[in-house]
Structure 1
Amino acid sequence: MLKLDELAWHRAMGNLLESLDQSDFWLRLTRLLAHYVHFDSWVALRFAEHDRPRVLAEITLDDGLPDTLFEDYLNGLYLLDPFFIAACEYRRDGLIDLDDVAPDRFKSTEYYQRYFRINIVEDEIQWNCLVDHDATVCLSLGSHRRFKPSEKALMKVLGIWLVPLLRQRWQHELREQGQSLQRPATHPAGKANFRLSDASLSARELEIARLMLSGFSSKGISQRLGISAETVKVHRKHLYSKLGLNAQHELFALFLKDNVRDPQS
């Protein structure tokens, strides 16, 4: 493990700064971070409330094949991602911990069981860097085990220089990818575009459906929306009736049908 008072650390940082505008920047950065903390996967993304996540760089799978689960994430599952939701609703620079953003029933959701548990496995941590008026550059690390408190504390310290570095790298990403990263999405994203069939759900019912699928319990929804848990249950009963559903796994199936789509559609 590198130490901040060792010559090797300063040499590594110098090499990283020299690669700021190079194609291998993200690889060099994650290799440097691997000296500090164990992680099994990583991805650099741009989040924006009214656009799908844009991949800036990602780890390469061992077999070299496309990650179909991650493609599903980019095509719509991200709407249930607590990190995406937090980046849009509570924008701030710095380190974001899964425990900070995951709802109280997150691990019981279909999203967790079908995507997070398979692709991320156990834990995730992310540095957020605010750019432009509504966009966030994110570097996310996934792990097969829980991150230790000591690792989280160290990563928080590393964020002091990492966040400004991401902000500088963003300027290079804009030059490399043109203005495509700033154009409005063909299919607007975010909670305003969360859809469920053609049933005439009220705005409140639609919001409660989104929160249910994200992992909020009735109590969690009531606290978030400032309404009673009984009122939440009434809304849930009404939306199930309108959609002809009996269980939350059926609600998730409808969400997949209406929100996880081919990007060319």
Structure 2
Amino acid sequence: MNLTLQDIAWHRSVGQVIDALDHPGFWLRLVRLLEQYVAFDSWVAFLFSEHRPLVYAESPGSDGGLDPLFQDYLMGLYLLDPFYIASRETPASGLVQLADVAPECFERTDYYQRYFRLNVVADEVQYNVALDAGRTLCLSLGSRSRFAGEQIALLHLLQPWVLATMRQRFRFEHDVDEVTPAPAWQNHLAEGFGHLETPLTARELEVGRMLLSGCSSKEIGRKLAISSETVRVHRKHIYRKLGIKSQSELFALFLKAQR
């Protein structure tokens, strides 16, 4: 069997990642290995669950400090993240692309315009490991440009050993039970809009979340098993009760309710 120098370097690097499974620098070592084969601009390793996302490691901000946009994400914007929503609705292990989970109108949402394209920039993929109790361990890779088909194919090729090492690494991470549970979406908004004379119903809150995440009326109707016209009626009631006239105003109220 003929091994090239590149083959030898690859096996050495994988061995180093495995050797670091119980070390604090595991995620950085894994990311640096992936960077040798696929270019990306940001990354974060975290856990999705019924709690707020729990961050295990992340790429530093431009000034080396905490990214204020990402802190907004952790406070509540994650509720609009298509990757988070997909992990809660249909948890599964594997490589997930933005195109796999983004709603029809995602790029027209305030979440996309005011957070995603500024923080993630253009494209995102995630390695997901579905765990027990509705938890998903994630390694997210963000890029300033669209991932090319060749890059996605390579990430799929690397998937088996990446997911295997992530699953083994989870044994050495802090348990999610140490984190204070986040209130459900309905409670987030219900608390923020507690002054309303006529509170939003649970269905109106759910329609509002789906509108903000980028779902079209048809998508909402399909997911909730109601007609598109009923969706539009719910949206009209939401706007009337909140005293607003646009989805941008709804997004502003959503942000206020998270803080």
**For this structure pair, what is the TM-score category when the shorter chain's length is used for normalisation?**
over 0.9
Query: Unmatched 5+ residue regions in structure 2?
Result: none
Q: Which secondary structure state, in structure 2, belongs to the residue aligned with residue 124 of structure 1?
A: strand
Matching residue's letter, 2:213: S
- Per the alignment, residue 203 of structure 2 pairs with 204
Q: CA RMSD in A?
A: 1.7
1:89 aligns with 2:89: yes
- 1:139 aligned to 2:134? no
Aligned residues: 251
Greater shift in the superposed pair: 71-80 or 5-14? 5-14
Q: 1:86 to 1:194 in 2, by over 3 A?
A: farther
The aligned residue for residue 11 of structure 1 is 12
Whether the 8 Å CA contact 1:209–1:236 is kept in 2: the answer is yes
Q: 1:241 to 1:4 in 2, by over 3 A?
A: farther
Aligned to 1:47: 48
Mapping of 1:115-134 within 5 angstroms? Answer: 115-134=115-134
SS of the aligned residue for 2:32 comes to helix
Q: Is the 8 A contact 2:52 2:181 kept in 1?
A: no
Report what 1:111 is aligned to. 111
| Alpha carbons of structure 1 residues 210 and 165: separation in structure 2 relative to 1, 3 Å | same
- The whole-number CA distance in structure 2 between the counterparts of 1:137 and 1:243 is 36
Given the alignment, which residue of 158, 170, 195 partners 2:189?
195
Partners of 2:234 and 2:56 lie apart in 1 by: 39
In percent, how many aligned pairs have the same letter? 52
Alignment partners' CA distance in 2, 1:88 and 1:192: 15
Cα separation, partners in 2 of 1:55 and 1:184, compared to 1, 3 Å: closer
Equivalent in the alignment of 2:243: 244
Residue 256 of structure 2 is matched in structure 1 by: 257
Q: CA deviation at 1:76?
A: 0.7
Distance 1:72 1:4 in 2: 45
> Separation in 2 of the partners of 1:4 and 1:240?
63
**1:47/1:110 CA distance change after superposition, 3 Å:** same
Partner SS for 1:51: coil
**Rounded Cα–Cα distance in structure 2 between residues aligned with 1:38 and 1:186:** 35
Partner SS, residue 195 of structure 1: helix
List per-residue Cα deviations over 1:31-59 (Å, max 9, x = no partner): 000111110000001100x2000100001
- For residues 222 and 96 of structure 1, what CA distance do their matches in structure 2 show? 25
1:220 partnered with 2:219:
yes
Deviation string 1:176-234 (CA, Å, 9 cap, x unpaired) is x3x4x224634334x45441512411111111100000001112211221211111111
Which amino acid is the alignment partner of residue 189 of structure 2?
Answer: R
Question: Displacement, 1:62?
Answer: 3.6
Q: Normalized against structure 2, the TM-score is what?
A: 0.92
- 1:151-179 deviation per Cα after TM superposition (whole angstroms, max 9, x unaligned): 11211121111112111100011xxx3x4
Distance 2:224 2:93 in 1: 25
Contact 1:79 1:194 in 2 (8 A): no
Are the counterparts in 2 of residues 4 and 10 from structure 1 also a CA contact under 8 Å?
A: no
